[in-house]
Amino acid sequence: MKKTILIIAITLAFFNCKNNKQENGKLNIVTTTTMITDLVKNIGGDLVNVQGLMGSGVDPHLYKASEGDVSKLVNADIIFYNGLHLEGKLVEVFEKMESQTKTPIALAEDIDKSTLIGSDYFASNYDPHVWFNIAYFKQFASKVAAVLSEKDPKNSVYYFENEKQYLAKLDTLQNTIKSIIETLPKEKRILVTAHDAFNYFGKSYGFEVVGLQGLSTATEAGVQDVQKLAAFIINKNVKAIFVESSVPKRTIEALQAAVNSKGHNVEIGGTLYSDALGNAGTVEGTYIGMFEYNVNTIVNALK
Ligand SMILES: [Zn+2]
């Protein structure tokens, strides 16, 4: 959508704006990524309607708002998004919303910036893939519970109870992941993927992480990048590299071909869920299921 059309669509949608809260009394919440959609469903439970703009396999770096999305956003009681310029093409829509007295909530903005991984690539100056640090995702959960309670105080006990239960599940997840990763020798902890989504994962669990496309999928990898990374893989004797569900797999296949053409064999170790969860209704369609699936896939392929 062109800029002017977008602004007209937002303005028109405001004129048609319904009063807050749907007739059934549930909070109407709009989210961006599948990770945030899953989180808000866990905290809001049966008391909220959650509409996620992005489905499984959708790349948030490239996602643009449709007119239908704009009207969902305008009619929302609450909007949750990641922020730190993950949803790079939605920033303009959110800024426009703010000027219309609706404040979309960027969950990652509350994280202590001094603990984030820096990046020159994003306008935020930080790597936005923070959900791969479970401690940060716990902060997301607490923020969501606090916002829901503020908007719907009579149900705040329910939201905080859901938060408590979800945080306990995330603690269990953390322990499970650590015990799986302990089975992989430290020198084999090298993760090569399509784009740099796993820096926080690497920092948390001691992996050296290399993404072929840099931090965002908005830039394509060049021939030189492929050759350089192929040499790295051969030098470090990396056994497997990984495709991502939200990034076309041709770049990783080109990398595999470059390695194999030099007489070294590297496997494609499987598909990881980086910037989007798996299909709704599957285990990988939840944040917790996705994380465990990724770790099992990585460890099994690199062993
Ligand atoms: Zn990404």
What is the CA(252)–ligand 1 centre distance, in A? 15
Q: Token pair 């015990």 is at which residue? A: 179
What is the CA(244)–ligand 1 centre distance, in A? 10
Candidates 262, 269, 260, 275; CA nearest to 295 is 269
Mean pLDDT over each residue of the chain, to the nearest integer: 91
59-103 confidence digits (pLDDT tens): 999 999 999 999 999 999 999 999 999 999 998 898 888 777 678
pTM for the structure as a whole = 0.92
- 17-26, 52-61, 228-237, 278-287: the lowest-pLDDT one: 17-26
The whole-number pLDDT of residue 18 equals 47
Res 218 pLDDT > 50: yes
Quote the percentage of the chain above a pLDDT of 90: 79
What is the CA(87)–ligand 1 centre distance, in A? 9
What is the CA(279)–ligand 1 centre distance, in A? 18
What is the CA(195)–ligand 1 centre distance, in A? 7
289-301 confidence digits (pLDDT tens): 999 999 999 999 9
What is the CA(73)–ligand 1 centre distance, in A? 23
267-285 confidence digits (pLDDT tens): 999 999 999 999 999 999 9
Quote the percentage of the chain above a pLDDT of 70: 92
The whole-number pLDDT of residue 19 equals 45
116-147 confidence digits (pLDDT tens): 999 887 778 999 999 999 999 999 999 999 99
Scored b (16 or more CB within 10 A) or e, 215-234 reads bbbeeebeeebbeebbeebb
CA distance 149 to 144: 9
What is the CA(163)–ligand 1 centre distance, in A? 26
32-60 confidence digits (pLDDT tens): 999 999 999 999 999 999 999 999 999 99
How much is the average pLDDT of 251-262?
95
CA distance 91 to 89: 6
- 213-217, 241-245, 264-268: the lowest-pLDDT one: 213-217
What is the CA(131)–ligand 1 centre distance, in A? 11
Partners of 241 in the β-ladder? 268
The dihedral through the CA atoms of 302, 121, 60, 175 has a sign that is: positive
Res 178 pLDDT > 90: yes
